[in-house]
Amino acid sequence: MELDKFSYDNGIVRKFLIASVVFGIVGMLVGLTAALELVFPELNAGIEFITFGRIRPLHTNAIIFAFVGNGIFTGVYYSLQRLLKTRMWSDTLSNINFWGWQLIILAAAITLPLGITTSKEYAELEWPIDIAIALIWVVFGLNMIMTIIKRRERHIYVAIWFYLATFVTVAILHIFNSFELPVTLFKSYSWYAGVQDALVQWWYGHNAVAFFLTTPYLGLMYYFVPKAANRPVYSYRLSIIHFWALIFIYIWAGPHHLLYTALPDWAQSLGVVFSIMLIAPSWGGMLNGLLTLRGAWDKVRDDAVLKFMVVAITCYGMSTFEGPMMSLKSVNAISHFTDWTIAHVHIGGLGWNGFLTFGMLYFLIPKMWNTKLYSTKLANFHFWIGTLGIIFYAIPLYWAGFTQSLMWKEFTAEGMLAYPNFLETVTQILPMYAMRAFGGTLYIIGVFVMVYNLLATAKTGVFVKNEEAEAAPLTSVYKAHAGEYWHRVLERKPLVMTVLAVVAVSIGGLIEIVPTALVKSNIPTISSVKPYTPLELEGRDLYIREGCNNCHSQMVRPFRSETARYGEYSKAGEFVYDHPFLWGSKRTGPDLAREGSSKLRKSDSWHYNHMLDPRTMSPGSIMPPYPWMFEDDLDVDNTNAKIAAMRTLGVPYPDGYEDGQAMADLDAQRQQIADGLAAEKYTISKEKEIIALIAYLQRLGRDIETEPIAQQ
């Protein structure tokens, strides 16, 4: 048969590869900065753009979407062409994919430090960027599917099943979680409120981990591990079972991020059971990866690529076992809101994603530059310092998590909290935070060594931009082998497979989200819960802008240790006007759900001093100061538009409230707060942002209290 001659596009792979490395370094350095800010709270030197609350989302977005995202594209563009024996369908689309994605990253790098954020974790980017992400993602998917259609390989390999599932699921997750009502070009409110918003967000957040950090990387593992080890994949049937089980089960597990919150109990329980069932499908991937190395373990000793991949797969196995354990309610009661979670995700991030990416880079660069790795010694050094970095990162944070959680929960015999002052539980773990930053430093040093090694490697070779290849075209008729496995049929019909993947990932989401949104009994209403005043609403938007939710939860869980510390546990009905919800996922500082309640209430002047310099009011605190909120005037240009938008979303502001009355109310309230502060000798203009923030903080938790608080 006549062989087609064609070439593989290595140019696009190189572009994504460089972007992944560059943004990886940026993202890790931002992460290191954030880690150091917890140890040295004034490290930001009064610069608002680099406070912890603003760069923490920058770090997560940079790592997930820029480092790993570009890593996905690198691996997919390289392997897809070869697995299908064809060049990418359209070089133009490939380049639109590349440049579009980098522009999105650029937009993120600009907007997040400016405080332009939706506050929803890993979905912080505002609506115009959300639209851009959706478009570019579709460009990627279209290019991939068209490439599959014009393939020269009859069946599609397991790596591509994972790529397809990744494409469709991320599209679904991103679109549904990003339903938001724009107020201005840079401000929108989530379509969903309170409990529903939390459920949709964690359906997304959990599955961003599943379908952005896991499934595409499993696809990469299925390509690069057998290639690097030169061994056959261990078990084809294991691939089939764990693929379908994984994508079907993963999608249900989101509610395990919301255990013991105001989410209805049935949804929490569903999150738990599907998390338990998730162990085996996850480990199926680990087993297939590790057992592929059977008979090649002697190579692991010498080959840097395999070394990195073995640790990556092992870390994958560890964190996918730990994840379900943390989803058990009794374990979650201890682990949630602590650094345990941070340690857990970094086993995945540094170990699985980081090391698999590094392994892939050490494989790709000698291949595409047609040369040998410059220095095995340096690669080995990178491997060991990176592994040490992971250990030094994770162990102190596990220790910090256990320590802090046990301190939060300890009571004296008299029935009092043993550590009633939250700060005691923070200062206790500061040495662990310092150790974590050290671990992160080791890891980054390793990356720099890798960059040097890879650059030196590239220098010794010549880049092959278009790699010549030839293969026979597919015949129009195909006769199936006798006795072939039923799944082979699907592998010949990638579009059918894609549709089935959509079905598999839609079921869990639908069953959990639709009833929570539609069945009234899931969110019992509380009549005393009222919409925020215009000033409080503006204050809330400042809280979002500063990323306060990155360190402060607003969710008192139904535990004695929490009600003793914070007051009545949070009820679903309290959040019905919260677009978006601000429950948070980590308590670096105390919970603020009831900050304004009579139990916890501080004076306006306390907040004034605390925001200006937290350590005057809370000696030893690791919160940064917020001096700019005392200098900048509150932007009230859009207050009326915000009120109108909120009404559209179902918040019962009276009709026409935004035509004058809202501003009058806002002005009266801030006058009152400024007057109160003045009486205590704190002179500040009512126009300043801090006044709105104080108004919001003092409102928190007030609604369900019957006693009014006397005006000062």
Partner 1 sequence: MKTNTFFRKSAVAFMALLITAAPQAAWANTTLVKSTGISDESLLVVLTVFAGFQLLAILIIANVIKGIAANKQIWQARWNKTAAAIATLILVGASGQLMATDAKFDSLVSLNDTAFLALITLNLFLLLAFIYLVVKLNSLFKMLIQDEEGKVPESWIDKVNVMLTDAVPIDQEEDVMTDHEYDGIRELDNNLPPWWLYGFYLSIVVAILYSGYYIVGSGPSSAQEYLAEMDEAETAKTAFMATQTYTVDENNVELLTDAASLAAGAKIFKLNCTPCHAETGGSMPGGVGPNLTDEYWINGGAVTDIFRTIKYGVPAKGMVSWEAQLSPSKIQQVASYIKSLRGSNPANAKEPQGDLYEEETAASEEAPAETPADSTTTSTTEAATGEITMVD
Range 99-138, binding partner 1 (CB under 8 A): none
The single residue among 184, 370, 380, 412 that binds partner 1, judged by CB under 8 A, is 412
Number of residues in contact with partner 1 under rule CB under 8 A: 84
Residues within window 268-307 making contact with partner 1, judged by CB under 8 A: 268-270, 272-274, 276-277, 279-281, 283-284, 287, 291, 294-295
Report the C-alpha gap between 690 and 539 in whole angstroms.
8
Q: Which residue has the tokens 């095995």?
A: 376
Residues within window 386-405 making contact with partner 1, judged by CB under 8 A: 402
CB of 223 to partner 1, least distance (A): 7
Do 355 and 213 form a contact (C-beta atoms < 8 A)? no
Nearest to 260 by CA among 340, 342, 344, 332: 332
Residues within window 475-494 making contact with partner 1, judged by CB under 8 A: 481
Nearer to partner 1, 104 or 253 (CB): 253
- For residue 446, which phi and psi values (nearest 5 degrees)? -60, -40
Residues facing residue 466 across a β-bridge: 9
CB of 347 to partner 1, least distance (A): 21
Report the C-alpha gap between 399 and 405 in whole angstroms.
10
| Per CB under 8 A, 235 contacts partner 1 | yes
| Per CB under 8 A, 558 contacts partner 1 | yes
Q: Spell out the residues 6+ positions from residue 699 whose beta carbon is closer than 8 angstroms to its own.
A: 532, 533, 536, 539, 596
| Per CB under 8 A, 415 contacts partner 1 | yes
End-to-end CA distance of the chain: 91
Report the C-alpha gap between 249 and 139 in whole angstroms.
27
Nearer to partner 1, 565 or 699 (CB): 565
**Cis previous bond, 590, omega within 30:** no
Q: At what angle do helices 127-149 and 158-177 cross, to 10 degrees?
A: 150
CB of 37 to partner 1, least distance (A): 22
The single residue among 52, 89, 202, 569 that binds partner 1, judged by CB under 8 A, is 569
| Per CB under 8 A, 418 contacts partner 1 | yes
Helix (H) or strand (E) holding 389: helix 376-409
| Per CB under 8 A, 420 contacts partner 1 | yes
Do 256 and 344 form a contact (C-beta atoms < 8 A)? no
| Per CB under 8 A, 414 contacts partner 1 | yes
Residues within window 325-344 making contact with partner 1, judged by CB under 8 A: 329
CB of 408 to partner 1, least distance (A): 12
Radius of gyration of the chain (CA): 26
Q: Which residue has the tokens 């006397």?
A: 710
CB of 110 to partner 1, least distance (A): 38
Residues within window 491-530 making contact with partner 1, judged by CB under 8 A: none
CB of 458 to partner 1, least distance (A): 23
Q: Which stretch binds partner 1 (CB under 8 A): 198-206, 209-217, 234-242, 443-451?
A: 234-242
CB of 484 to partner 1, least distance (A): 9
Nearer to partner 1, 406 or 502 (CB): 406
| Per CB under 8 A, 82 contacts partner 1 | yes
Nearer to partner 1, 295 or 660 (CB): 295
The single residue among 107, 638, 682, 684 that binds partner 1, judged by CB under 8 A, is 682
Q: Which stretch binds partner 1 (CB under 8 A): 55-63, 183-191, 416-424, 543-551?
A: 416-424
What are the tokens at 388? 């040490």
CB of 171 to partner 1, least distance (A): 26
Nearest to 12 by CA among 102, 105, 145: 102
Q: Spell out the residues 6+ positions from residue 203 whose beta carbon is closer than 8 angstroms to its own.
A: 173, 177, 251, 254, 255, 509, 512, 513
Residues within window 42-81 making contact with partner 1, judged by CB under 8 A: 79
Residue 106 Rama label (left phi>0; alpha psi -120 to 50; beta): alpha
Burial class from Cβ neighbours inside 10 Å (0-12, 13-18, 19+) for residue 691 reads: buried
Nearer to partner 1, 160 or 385 (CB): 160
Residues facing residue 633 across a β-bridge: 688
Report H helices in 485-625. 487-492, 494-518, 534-545, 560-566, 604-612, 614-617
Residues within window 594-623 making contact with partner 1, judged by CB under 8 A: 598-606, 609, 616-619
Residues facing residue 411 across a β-bridge: 417
Q: Which stretch binds partner 1 (CB under 8 A): 172-180, 411-419, 512-520, 625-633?
A: 411-419
Residues facing residue 180 across a β-bridge: 190
Nearer to partner 1, 4 or 659 (CB): 4
Q: Which stretch binds partner 1 (CB under 8 A): 259-267, 299-307, 358-366, 649-657?
A: 259-267
DSSP letter for 655, please: T
Nearer to partner 1, 102 or 425 (CB): 425
| Per CB under 8 A, 234 contacts partner 1 | yes
Nearer to partner 1, 605 or 661 (CB): 605
- For residue 237, which phi and psi values (nearest 5 degrees)? -70, -30
Nearer to partner 1, 557 or 699 (CB): 557
CB of 564 to partner 1, least distance (A): 5
Burial class from Cβ neighbours inside 10 Å (0-12, 13-18, 19+) for residue 515 reads: middle
Q: Which residue has the tokens 């989200």?
A: 513
DSSP letter for 633, please: B
Q: Which stretch binds partner 1 (CB under 8 A): 311-319, 415-423, 446-454, 665-673?
A: 415-423
| Per CB under 8 A, 560 contacts partner 1 | yes
CB of 309 to partner 1, least distance (A): 14
Residues within window 642-681 making contact with partner 1, judged by CB under 8 A: 680-681
